[in-house]
Amino acid sequence: MISGILHRVRTGVQWRDLPERFGPWKTVYERHRRWSGDGTWERLLQQVQAAADAAGEIDWDISVDSTIVRVHQHAAGARTDPSPEPSAKGTEEGEHQDETPWQSLVGRLVEVVLEVRAWAARAAGSPPSST
């Protein structure tokens, strides 16, 4: 089961096109769906990370790089008129409306770190790429 799930994650193949050596595709899919829903994958990741951290195999330093992207000349000016009042349809408050820019940045950094960890966990099980 795990080999079939990892094969699908690494290759991106459709569930129905999973090679027969992994068993019925529907069984592999259902197991993956169930384990994703009940937190099995998250618990496995935590255990593997804890073991690797205890062995000193994880470098927890995070490097954030910044890139400057030039805006098109027609979009370079700031808006001078006040923004329009929200319509009746959009009167609900935004999800992060009361956040400061720093809170938004920290929240986004947390999301990025979680995405990188997930990517690294998937990449650890795949063969090295030549690109």
Nearest-angstrom CA–CA distance, 113 and 62: 8
pLDDT for residue 58: 83
pTM, 2 dp: 0.43
Which secondary structure element, helix H or strand E, spans residue 105, and what is its range?
A: helix 101-124
In angstroms, the CA 87 to CA 37 distance is 38
pLDDT of residue 37: 93
CA 37, 41, 46, 49 torsion-angle sign: negative
**Mean pLDDT in order along the chain per 10 residues (131 residues):** 91 94 95 93 91 87 73 67 60 59 75 83 66 48
